Structure 1
Amino acid sequence: MPQLPERRKASSTASKAPVEDETQRKTRIQTKNRRMRYLELHPEYFEQPSLELADPLLYDRTIRRFLTPHERELDRRSKGYSGVLEANLIRSEAKLAALRNPDPNSPTVYTRAADGSITGVEQDVDDRPRDRQQGWEKWRDVMGLRFVGGRDEEFEYAGVDGSEEFDDRAEVERERLDEYLEGEEERFVGDGPRPVGETGVQDF
């Protein structure tokens, strides 16, 4: 009987994810907190016209569908002819791509209506925005996660990530106090037992 070739074992080092040390963990958390704080101080980030192009399908379902005719007219005027043309083109291409190549993992299904238009509907009823407020909250949640994750390629993150202006002062002070107390405890343990009196504390 012919002998089967040995299956090559996968390298254990290649499959292991890099281990995050304490310094890297603190830096990652600090960066995330600073970006979240930036969004709290600059809510206008979610209203910039260019953000629509980052996810035109999401914008169409959460923001654009709830605009009144008057608001759509104001939106067209603010963007100008070229801006409206660009947004419409990108949105149409994204809808066609979603229709032709549906993503099985996507919560949204795109179908073509009798009039030829393409619309998307969330499969989960609870995930569908029912009004302007819910649509806005959905837009902020998704775009906020995108921003905090560093996926806005047009944004200069260095000015936020490296600035103490966006630190939570109370949290920073708590961390400094915790580090100080930990250092004090380590020194006490290293110096041996502390003499105590009858009350359980050092008497003078």
Structure 2
Amino acid sequence: MAPRFDSPPSTPHSFSQPRPRPPRSPGRSAQIRAQNRRRAYLERHNSYFQSSEHELSDPLLYDFLIRRFQTPAEREAEGRAKGYARVLEGSLLRGEERLAKLRERTLMPPPKTREEGLAQWEAYLRDRFIRGEDDDFDYALVDDDDEYDVLDRVDREEAWFEEEDPEWATSGEEGERGKEKILRGETGVQDY
């Protein structure tokens, strides 16, 4: 004898209706807002990636992604621009970091071209900046500036447009169904 089901189950299926996300804490909302502002800042200020100071944030990664694709002339020009002390500092940091990272982790897949290396380096800098790990940058200039709230502005504009009734739908004579306009005269169909 097969089991009999007289009443529907007491709990609805978990996929029957979408469930809203739990509300974020004020601290988490502020963190997300700051990260979004930092992303917007980087989109407007691409020159951030050009600073030679970033090499010191991860000298081994810089060597792995950028320096290996530089020509001897480019390395020499970069060395002159930095000065002897900065070149020596970078070299010492690379040596110390190599030893530490050999035990700690393996590097990402090696880039095959200069462009791939540059893209990986910029991705590293972008993530580092968004996490707030650039000690030389004053994040208050970005985090406290609502000019970089691009996503909030887009959400507000979309909400405004959704609430707005188009003028063509409410102007003119009203028909039986309320605000719908009654068309008279030319309908746009050509008669032959």
Normalising by the residue count of structure 2, what TM-score does the alignment of the two structures yield?
Answer: 0.66
Give the match's secondary structure for 2:83.
Answer: helix
Give, as a single letter, the amino acid of the residue that structure 1 aligns with 2:113: D
Structure 2 residue 45 is matched with structure 1 residue 42: yes
**Structure 2 gap segments, 5+ residues each:** 1-21, 164-175, 180-192
**Which aligned pairs between 1:51-200 and structure 2 lie closer than 5 A?**
51-99=54-102, 102-103=103-104, 106-108=105-107, 122=108, 127-168=109-150, 171-175=152-156, 178=159, 199=177
CA distance in 2, matches of 1:176, 1:47: 34
Partners of 1:79 and 1:41 in 2: CA distance? 26
Q: Distance in 2 between matches of 1:154 and 1:30?
A: 21
Shift of the 24–177 alpha-carbon distance from structure 1 to 2, 3 Å rule, reads farther
Displacement after TM superposition at 1:181 (Å): 7.6
- Superposed CA RMSD: 2.8
Aligned length: 148
Letter in 1 for 2:143: D
Residue identity (%): 40
Report which of the two structures shows the higher radius of gyration computed on alpha carbons. Answer: 2
Gaps of 5+ in 1: 1-18, 109-121, 183-197
Runs of at least 4 residues off by over 6 Å = 179-182
Structure 2 CA distance for aligned equivalents of residues 136 and 107 of structure 1: 19
Taking the aligned partners of 2:46 and 2:132, their CA distance within structure 1 comes to: 17
After superposition, the C-alpha distances for 1:88-123 in whole angstroms (9 at most, x for unaligned) are 111111112223xx12xx342xxxxxxxxxxxxx4x
